Amino acid sequence: MKEAPVQQRRKYDQEFKRQAVEQWLNSGRSAEVVAHELGITAKQIYAWRKDFGPSAPGGKGAEGADLQARVYALERELARVREQRDILKKTLGILSEPPTGATNGSKR
């Protein structure tokens, strides 16, 4: 029985990792496509994003954090406005129902 050859683990420097993540995030292409072009796995790029992505310390974190905070605020406001809309729809439906026991304009 033959054993599978042990592959040497490749190490990448910080600059390569940072550039790989930047290329992926700025290209609009999937992580799989960029990873294939660079000869690495998409799993590696996803892991490196934690260290070198926009929300990483020393990265473009302030900009990303500001945008993320704004997204959360807008999502909360949207939920509140949707709730108000639903209440108004229900109210309109109740008010537009004919009163019970009404004759609907017929004269008998």
Task: Kindly tell me if the per-residue pLDDT of 61 is higher than 70.
Answer: no
Cβ-based neighbour number of residue 75 at 10 Å: 10
Q: Which amino acid is at 53?
A: G
The pLDDT assigned to 106 comes to: 58
pLDDT digits (tens, 9 = 90+) for 76-99: 999 999 999 999 999 998 888 887
Spell out the residues 6+ positions from residue 61 whose beta carbon is closer than 8 angstroms to its own.
Answer: 54, 55
Give pTM, 2 decimals. 0.46
> Is 63 within 8 Å of 54 (Cβ atoms)?
yes
The pLDDT assigned to 69 comes to: 82
3-state SS assignment for residue 58: coil
pLDDT digits (tens, 9 = 90+) for 28-60: 888 899 999 999 999 998 998 888 877 665 555
pLDDT digits (tens, 9 = 90+) for 6-18: 777 788 888 888 8
Mean pLDDT of 16-30: 87
> Is 48 within 8 Å of 33 (Cβ atoms)?
no
Contacts of 4-13 with CB under 8 Å at 24 or more apart are 12/40
Could you tell me the residue ranges of all domains in the chain? 11-53, 61-95
Mean pLDDT of 19-33: 88
CA–CA dist 101, 41 (Å, integer): 72
63 versus 24: the higher-pLDDT residue is 24
The pLDDT assigned to 56 comes to: 62
